[in-house]
Structure 1
Amino acid sequence: MLVDPAASVVAIEVRRGGPLAGLGHDHVVASRDVQGYVLPHDARADLFVPLARLTVDEAGLRSEWGMDKPVSAEAIEGTRRNMLEKVLEAEHHPYALVRISRKDEATLRVAITLHGRTLEVDTPAHIEHADRKMTVSGSMTIAQSDFGITPFSVLGGALQVQDSLALRYRIVALRQ
């Protein structure tokens, strides 16, 4: 089964921290370009996410995450630039790679390779099968530091991004 990028989304909640957190913004970073294959009979999937195509603060996703405070286009672009260049170093690590295997009926073992490091976690998931379509959805929490990433900060850490990131996903795969 081939992943349908147009129907799939991975959204990551990025929260501000530090003593001057009130001066910053919370963000939602998303991919609507998840690519790869799902092999239901082998209970596995191999996916990749082109980091250069990540979006920041899509209005609908901000609303879903309860982020009502508006963010300027300049702040969004600055966040995206800092994220890709200084945090993810996307020029050197252009993709997030995800290998998934089914641990049991309700749990996936997910290995995420980002920034040259791999993190393996078990996470609950909801799996639906319908005719020629499979949908896998769920949520998990990861830490940037698990990938050797130092969360972005300015002013000596007075304004920073929290290490912990909440992630929600919906992956749709279609039988070809």
Structure 2
Amino acid sequence: MNIKISLQVMLLCSSLAACSQLPAPPPSAPAPVPSQPAATAPAAVAKPAGASVKPPAAAATAPAPLLHIDPAQSLIAVTVRRGGMLARLGHDHLVAARTVSGTVAPAQNRADFQFRLDQLTVDEAPLRTAAGLEKQPSADAIEGTRTNMLTKVLDAGRYPLVAVHAERGAPGQPLQTTITLHGVSRTLAIPVDIRANAGIMTVTGAVNLKQSDFGIVPFSLMGGALAVQDQLELKFTLVAR
């Protein structure tokens, strides 16, 4: 009986072993031979974390050229007329600025220049003749006129410079010109003639100004019996290269 039971147990174990065994996997196909990879561009170098990526720099543009005013070729001439009941006893005067400095920017249609009051000349004989003024004053009279002009009229020690900023709109239009004199700025439309040739620009024009518009009291003597007229007549030639 024991032999019979043992035989049954052996048969049962064999059956369980056969049921628990997994089927063998199918034979695997041969691994494919890798093809030659196509040529590729070099891989980009990775940026460190947090590094900013700069855009390509824009092409640098050259600054627009500036022209410089040539003092040797430039002149601002101011005719000062006499007035009052005793005007016949006085002189008309010609005051000139020959030390004008500054720049002209043709691309921006603007100019900025200035001159010093203490460098003004008074009654140069050739300029008086060109302006139609007669009877050349004496050297003492000229020096007295210059001293009175700088100290009693223009207050050149306190306001030593005359500054000018000019802008042009359409060709042929007047210059919108801001003049700063005696600490006061005024803007005027000044007709001009502009000519440019071979890198040289020449600007000519004329304008009348009133001294009182700039807070200046015209010089006078004897209660105004002998005086300087308020209106000034300016003519100018500016050469920039």
Per the normalisation by structure 2, the TM-score is 0.71
1:20-35 equivalences under 5 Å are 20-35=86-101
In structure 2, give the amino acid aligned to 1:165.
Answer: L
Q: 1:88 — aligned with what? A: 154
Provide the rounded CA distance (Å) in 1 between the counterparts of 2:171 and 2:87: 41
Instruction: Kindly state the Cα deviation for residue 30 of structure 1 after the two structures are TM-superposed.
Output: 0.3
Q: Does 1:165 align with 2:232?
A: yes
Equivalent runs, 1:56-95 vs 2, <5 Å? 56-95=122-161
Deviation of residue 69 (structure 1)?
Answer: 1.1
Query: What amino acid is aligned across from residue 24 of structure 1 in structure 2?
Result: G
Compare CA radii of gyration and give the structure with the larger one.
Answer: 2
Q: Which has the higher strand share?
A: 1
Where in structure 1 are there 5+ consecutive unaligned residues? none
1:138 matches 2:205: yes
1:96-115 equivalence runs, <5 A: 96-106=162-172, 107-115=174-182
SS at match of 1:135: strand
**Matched residue of 2:71: which SS?**
coil
Question: Aligned residue for 1:46?
Answer: 112
Q: Output the amino acid matched with 1:44.
A: R
How far apart, in 2, do the equivalents of 1:81 and 1:13 lie? Answer: 17
- Distance in 1 (alpha carbons) for counterparts of 2:213 and 2:120: 20
What letter corresponds to residue 112 of structure 1 in structure 2? I
Deviation at 1:105, TM superposition (A): 1.7
Shift of residue 104, structure 1, vs aligned partner = 2.9
Q: Does structure 1 conserve the Cα–Cα contact (< 8 Å) formed by 2:125 and 2:136? A: no
Highest relative contact order (Cα 8 Å, sep 6+), 1 or 2? 1
Post-superposition shift, 1:103? 3.1
Instruction: Give the 3-state SS of the residue equivalent to 2:169 in structure 1.
Output: strand
Residue aligned with 2:165, SS: strand
Q: Which runs of 4+ in 1 moved over 2 A?
A: none
Match in the other structure for 2:62: none
Match of 1:11 among 49, 54, 77: 77
Q: Which runs of 5+ in 2 are unaligned?
A: 1-66
Q: Shift in Å at residue 132 of structure 1?
A: 1.4
Q: TM-score, normalised by structure 1?
A: 0.97
